[in-house]
Every structure is written in structure tokens, then in C-alpha cells.
Amino acid sequence: MSPSHAVHLDGSRFWVIHRGRTYGPFDYEWSADFCGLSMLYRGEKFGEYCSREELYADLRPFRLPLSVVNVTSIVMGCVLWGVLNGLSESEREHLVQTRLSEFGYERFRPSQS
């Protein structure tokens, strides 16, 4: 039986499960000059990280549920921050769990590996 709410992490990719429906994969890719990152949903760009001062993301074209957008924002932020700051995969997962709880999305917390 699959959970009705969860985040499934797999390296840089992740999926959000909301009310039993799976959304994703969400991922990122480095720009050609390695100075920024593109954020992807199902391989389509939905945002860019250029610097701490310059970030853009818009998931509206995908018409996702608000909870999925909120959880994706938290998880993507943790993944990008972790990658840019050299965190290990397990440290990033712990950060995701902590932030989801802090923002009231405990039900989405991934299980510890």
C-alpha cells in the first residue's frame, strides 16, 4: 500500500505524493557555465537559480495542487542549498525532513534511509 502523502527522494530527483497521486520527477541541472541551475518538472524548466539574490520559479503552468507546490518549494530549496553547500545525500534528506516539519508538512516527510 502506498502512502497518501510523501516525498520520495532519489539523488537529486524527487517526487511528491499528494492524496495518493504522484507528481514528478522534480530535478535540477547545471547551466552550461556552471554558474546557475535550472529547476525541472518532468524535464521542463520551471525556474532558475542564478545566485542567492536571484531565484525564479513558477509552477503555475502545470496546475499543481497548492500543497504540492509548497512541498516542492521546500524540498527543492533544501536540495539546492544542500548541493551548493556540499551536504551529503543523507544530510540533505535530514534537512528536508526538518524543514517539512517546520512548515507544517510532516505528513510528507520521507522515511529515513
Per-residue pLDDT tens digits for 39-84: 999 999 999 998 888 989 999 999 999 999 999 999 999 999 999 9
Question: Is residue 91 included in any domain, yes or no?
Answer: yes
Which pLDDT score, from 0 to 100, does residue 2 have? 61
Question: Is residue 113 included in any domain, yes or no?
Answer: no
Q: How many domains does the chain have?
A: 1
Average pLDDT, the chain: 92
Identity of the residue numbered 22: T
**CB of 27 within 8 A of CB of 13?**
yes
Question: Is residue 63 included in any domain, yes or no?
Answer: yes
Which pLDDT score, from 0 to 100, does residue 113 have? 44
Range of the domain at 53: 5-108
Which pLDDT score, from 0 to 100, does residue 111 have? 61
Radius of gyration of the chain from Cα atoms?
13
Per-residue pLDDT tens digits for 3-29: 899 999 998 899 999 999 999 999 999
DSSP 15-82: EEEETTEEEEEEEEEE-TTSS-EEEEETTEEEEEEEETTEEEE--GGGT--HHHHHHHHHHHHHHHHH
Distance CA 87, CA 26 (A): 19
